[in-house]
Amino acid sequence: MPKPNGKVDNLPRHEETEYITACPRNCYSTCSFKVRVKNNEILSITPFSKNLATPMGVCLKGLSYVERANSNERIIYPHKKIGNGQFVRISWDEALNTISNKLKHFRDEFGPQSVLFYAASGMSGLINEFSGKFWREIYGGVTTVYGNLCWPAGLEATRLTLGENKHNVPWDIENTKLIVLWGKNSAESNVHEMIPINKALDNGAKLIVIDPRRTASTQRAEMLLQPIPSTDAAIALAVASEIIKNSWADENFINQHVYGYAQFKEHVVKYTPEWAAKISGVSAELIRKLAFYMGTVKPMTLIAGYGMQRYTNGGQTVRTLISLAAITGNIGKLGAGWQYANLQSYVFDEVLEPLCYYPPNIPDSKIRRSISTARLGEEMLKTSNPELKMIWVERGNPLTQNPNTSKVLEAFRKLEFKVVVEQFFTDTALEADIVLPAKNMFEQSDIIGSYWNPYIQLKQKVVEPAGEVKPETEIYWLLAQKLGFTSDQLKSILLPPGDEYVDNFLNSKLKKFSGITLDKLKEGPILTPNLQEIAFSDYKFATPSGQIELYSEQVRQLWGLSPLPTYEVATEISSEEEHEYPLLFMSPNTKNRIHSQFNNLKIIKLINPEPILHINPHDARKRKIEDGDIVRVFNGRGSIIVKAFSTYEVRVGCVVLPNGWWKTQGVSVNMLSQGRETDMGHGSAFHNNRVEVKRIGK
Amino acid sequence: MAVKGFIFDYVKCIGCHACMVACHNENGVEPPMAWRQVQTANKIKIPLSGFINLSIACNHCENPVCLAACPAKAYTIDTTTGAVIHHSDRCMGCRYCTWACPFDAPKFNPLKGVVEKCSLCNNRLLEGLDPACVEACPVGALSFGEIDVKESVLAPGFSEKKLRPKVLPLNSTILEKYPIQDISATGFEQHNDKEIISVKSKISAKNEIPLVFFTFILAISVGWFGTTLFEKATLTFKYIFVLLGFMAFVASTFHLGKPFRAYRSILNIKKSWLSREILLFGIFEVSSILYLFVLNEIWLQTFALLSGLFLLFAVDMIYSVTLKISNIPHSSSTLLTAILVFSMLLNYIDLFLIIASAKLMLYFIRYFKSNKQIGFKFIVLPFMRTLLLLLPLASAIVLREIKLSGIIMILTAELIDRIEFYNDLVVETPETILNQNKV
């Protein structure tokens, strides 16, 4: 493995050491693992068995850190773009001078809000808060985005229904008798969930999968329902109706813990399986079977994915799903529950998701949060008074990951100055004027939680940064100095360079928990204090009624939607565009990437070399498409050219191309998506896309 | 005695590829090489049938066919762990082991010119650790432990060759499990669908041009030398005979990844048909040239001819490691070509007619048995091959004579057949096995 050229050789050579650390990617599993280091080089990644959620090994991406950390494609020096679009290495001094001059210029000329600070989920951790502090306290303000690309609709739906986003510990799935994977493909997106799922199945539990695709997770499934994307709510309503009709509802549980059941019951009675069959394309027979299983097998764990809530009806869809766990009494019990996101380890945040995604009620005089991340391109272009002049991007790759790539690109190109902090030359980095080298997960310590497993973990610093890489905290420190601040002034606001300051900061965060120290975290993950292994086992629901709210007045007040869970027709999906663009375009995640991370690595390319559109053989035949043919996938927003492969994995009428590919690797799937917000939570409904596919050659 | 081997659970494997990445990390394998692979049966998820993933590397057979095939003795068995170890410094890159192994374990690295293969992480085993792939498996599908070794393994993706592979696949019946689903949502039309995923064979004429010429030249040389028995006891163009031998030598070394290690090719006479072939090639060339130029003695002539015939037998035996398409001999068998050449040069019309018609028959049987696709390879070449054989055949029947033009036609036809021979070779691999189980 080629080593990056850097200052590595100046460091004291030390022997091989093993550390325990954790993966900070935006991923359910958030694995603990051991990393072996020698001479400042990552040698190996091996399992750490004491994390009960990820006891065996990390996934292929985690293992690929060996290549990723040592890759000679990594950006380890500041770069600037020169005339012909090429990047050349520059000194930190030049980079910081250029940036600080621009920052001063824009602030003086247009005000600090002419700068857009854009950060995404590339690396989680508490230290990220210093980025915000820099822009607020040092620069004097900035424009940021609100909302989130991923999961807010479902979070908000859960919050409004159950009061909190939490669920049983992952290993509790072992205790269940019925697993319903509704729109989640754990075998790819949450590999480690397959351990308890398999244990449950070995103990006689049944697995039902609801997904337009016959995914890798369906191998042991009893039943697979393949709905037309975005129609899940119709199925859930009919299932609820059947459960109630057949007296399978848990009346006792409902009487004690459910609010609005009477209205709900009256509301769903009209939704027959036949009605849902027409909408969803799933037969009434299968819907009845699903109702039978969900109504009669206990305990049931209902696990929902994030894909189906990225539709304009996503929040309400998720509410209909939760209602199924509620009316069958599958909340707060061993082996039962609604599993969407378990934020119990998010103990350091003042405002939890999804509330932190809301734009502020009263505009802050410093931070302007007027741009929806879902509509990033459009709203960047629209923003005025002051107009945007500059963008600073860290931990994100909006040019492939935000909806409507063409619009985002247009907005980027309109800016006068762009800074991107990155580890690799992504599509976004290539648009920058200055690229600053970003730290990787091994180069600065931080504390991370997980939205699936219940641990607080330390992501340890195990090597010195490669080349001239500086952690963002240090970049901001130096930049603040260039802006005229002294070290003394900065000390109380930013994190001074040096590991001891990082450790002090992290220790200060841990202070509120007796018994958890940084040193203890170095020995492995620690279960969150006050963890509820069985979520809601106290039957306390932080809703206005204190109960599970099938009827939620808040839903009406906050989002102007029906207080009862409903099925709403998703924008674009069942519309008049059907004729022109007959296929539904799905862009799920794959095991080979976390969004747009990892796919530039040689080992990942070996496994997943190029973007390939999956199309149902029926649809392929109609278009005379054979395996390996080059096709154009297009709609009114854009078009992409990819190879096609026909497979029954995909439902008729759908085509699938996993998201995360870079333009430089062939395509950005978001060329085809539209910037829309979800019905609740300020999420991004970028799955409401119709396309047509045409063969263009061999 | 219980021995240790890989234990693989079809039910737990989700095809996540972590094993493969762990192997690269541990062993410094550089993409595009991969010592461990993950294959899928029913990759396109045909409804009403199940699917499985298979993670497979080397099974470190107790009867390792790679070791037997290797002419250069590049393989050894570790006496402590039982690991079948490939030593790249002893490998000459002939790739014969990659054809012989039905588990697709040895792989040729074109950048290094040698074969590479899973070492069972032998060094880790000696330290008391499990192989890296086993350690890394995030879902417990792959483990390492004591197993009963059987003659062969009966499980999806595994060859039935009796190699005593040290591997224990579990729960293969999961392949029969499929969920209840709406067939209408899958677009599946049972009767219209022809679901074949074509898997490229490891061997093709395009990649084996040196071998096509090597074996073709050998057949001509032996047939030609055979004529000395009956006519003038020598050859008119004996320098061309020498030249052919030299060309064969060049071709045979050309196909090696490490031509300068060609001398290693005769180290495994005991087991490897390839070693035997190379040795017999040397003996045939030396003795025949000696006979033609130096020592015109009958015993030497007989000796040379016999070594030539054994040589051709060895040539044909080499390919016995590949899958047989049918039980009848291939029409391009070098022995048949040699006899054909022999009969043409001596104008033995009856012998020629018998052999040529036999070849034509064998060719037709093969052609119609294999369900080939339409295209240049399967229309134009066979047409030319047939025509170029038929015309001289017809002319021989009518004129009772074979002209020079006829000889050229026949030789061209034979070359086409030899090319097709290499295109017909199929090496069994987990991928081909998993994809031939059609539903």
Confidence of residue B195 (pLDDT cuts 50, 70, 90): low
Q: What is the pLDDT of residue B439?
A: 36
Nearest to B31 among A63, A592, A602 (CB): A602
Taking CB atoms and an 8 Å limit, are A63 and B21 in contact across chains?
yes
Q: What is the pLDDT of residue A627?
A: 94
Side-by-side strand order, sheet with A17-22: A17-22, A32-38, A41-47
Q: In this model, does residue B157 exceed pLDDT 60?
A: yes
Q: In this model, does residue A450 exceed pLDDT 60?
A: yes
B135 CB near a chain A CB, below 8 Å? yes
User: What H or E segment, with its residue span, contains residue A35?
Assistant: strand A32-38
Confidence of residue A12 (pLDDT cuts 50, 70, 90): very low
Residue type, A30: T
Q: What is the pLDDT of residue B321?
A: 87
Confidence of residue A10 (pLDDT cuts 50, 70, 90): very low
Alpha carbons A383 and A415: distance in angstroms, whole number: 12
Beta strand spans in B57-116 (E): 75-77, 84-86, 107-109, 114-116
B35 CB near a chain A CB, below 8 Å? no
Contacts of A1 in chain B (CB under 8 A): 28
Contacts of B31 in chain A (CB under 8 A): 602-603, 605-606
Q: In this model, does residue A1 exceed pLDDT 70?
A: no
Confidence of residue A38 (pLDDT cuts 50, 70, 90): very high
Q: What is the DSSP letter of B281?
A: H
Domains and CATH numbers, chain A: 79-140+357-441+467-497+506-511 (3.40.50.740), 153-344+544-559 (3.40.228.10), 576-697 (2.40.40.20)
Domains and CATH numbers, chain B: 3-170 (3.30.70.20), 205-424 (1.20.1630.10)
Q: What is the pLDDT of residue B366?
A: 82
Taking CB atoms and an 8 Å limit, are A281 and B185 in contact across chains?
yes
Alpha carbons A341 and A348: distance in angstroms, whole number: 17
Contacts of B185 in chain A (CB under 8 A): 226, 281-282, 651-652
- pLDDT tens string A137-156: 999 999 999 999 999 999 99
A582 CB near a chain B CB, below 8 Å? no
Q: Tell me if A276 sits within 8 A of A304, measured CB to CB.
A: no
Q: In this model, does residue A112 exceed pLDDT 70?
A: yes
- Name, in order, each residue with C-beta under 8 angstroms of A10's C-beta and a sequence gap of 6 or more: none
Average pLDDT over residues A581-606: 96
Nearest to A59 among B16, B53, B186 (CB): B16
How many helices (H) and strands (E) chain B has is answered by 15, 9
Average pLDDT over residues B127-148: 97
Q: In this model, does residue A304 exceed pLDDT 50?
A: yes
Taking CB atoms and an 8 Å limit, are B179 and A221 in contact across chains?
yes
Average pLDDT over residues A315-342: 98
Q: In this model, does residue A457 exceed pLDDT 80?
A: yes
Q: In this model, does residue A420 exceed pLDDT 50?
A: yes
Average pLDDT value over all residues in chain A? 95
Taking CB atoms and an 8 Å limit, are A225 and B182 in contact across chains?
yes
Q: Tell me if A401 sits within 8 A of A669, measured CB to CB.
A: no
Average pLDDT over residues B308-328: 87
Average pLDDT over residues A433-450: 98
Predicted TM-score (pTM) of this structure: 0.94
Angle among Cα A484, A486, A491 to the nearest 5 degrees reads: 130
Confidence of residue A617 (pLDDT cuts 50, 70, 90): very high
Q: What is the pLDDT of residue B375?
A: 55
For B:166-185, CB contacts with A below 8 A are 174, 177, 179-182, 184-185
DSSP A41-75: EEEEEEE-TT-TTS-S---HHHHTHHHHHH-TTS-
Average pLDDT value over all residues in chain B? 91
- Segment among A94-103, A121-130, B400-409 with least mean pLDDT: B400-409
Six-digit token string for B427: 């090496």
Taking CB atoms and an 8 Å limit, are B20 and A286 in contact across chains?
no
A639 CB near a chain B CB, below 8 Å? no
For CA atoms B52, B58, B64, B68, give the dihedral sign.
positive
Going from the C-alpha of B328 to that of each of A340, B322, B361, B362, B369, the distances in angstroms are 62, 14, 11, 7, 11
Contacts of A60 in chain B (CB under 8 A): 16-18, 20-21
Three state DSSP letters for A600-619 = CCHHHHHHCCCCEEEECHHH
- pLDDT tens string A88-110: 999 999 999 999 999 999 999 99
Between A and B, how many residue pairs show a Cβ–Cβ distance under 8 A?
Answer: 150
Residue with tokens 């040193």: A519
Phi-psi region at B157: left, alpha or beta (left = phi > 0; alpha = psi -120 to 50): left
Contacts of B32 in chain A (CB under 8 A): 606
Confidence of residue A666 (pLDDT cuts 50, 70, 90): confident
Nearest to A220 among B11, B21, B43 (CB): B11
Residue B286, SS3? helix
Phi-psi region at B187: left, alpha or beta (left = phi > 0; alpha = psi -120 to 50): left
| Total Cβ atoms within 10 A of residue A262 | 12
Contacts of B139 in chain A (CB under 8 A): 56, 191-192, 194-195, 198
Residues constituting chain B: 439
Q: In this model, does residue B91 exceed pLDDT 90?
A: yes
Measure A599 CA to nearest chain B CA, in Å: 14
User: What H or E segment, with its residue span, contains residue A300?
Assistant: strand A300-304
Q: In this model, does residue B2 exceed pLDDT 90?
A: no
Average pLDDT over residues A510-539: 95
Q: What is the pLDDT of residue A691?
A: 97
Q: In this model, does residue B167 exceed pLDDT 50?
A: yes
Q: What is the pLDDT of residue A6?
A: 34
Taking CB atoms and an 8 Å limit, are A188 and B51 in contact across chains?
no
Going from the C-alpha of A79 to that of each of A415, A438, A453, A596, the distances in angstroms are 19, 12, 38, 21
- pLDDT tens string A350-365: 888 899 999 988 878 8
- Name, in order, each residue with C-beta under 8 angstroms of A167's C-beta and a sequence gap of 6 or more: A337, A338, A339, A340, A341, A342, A535
**Nearest one of A233, A455, A257, A446 to A342, comparing CA atoms:** A455
Residue A320, SS3? helix
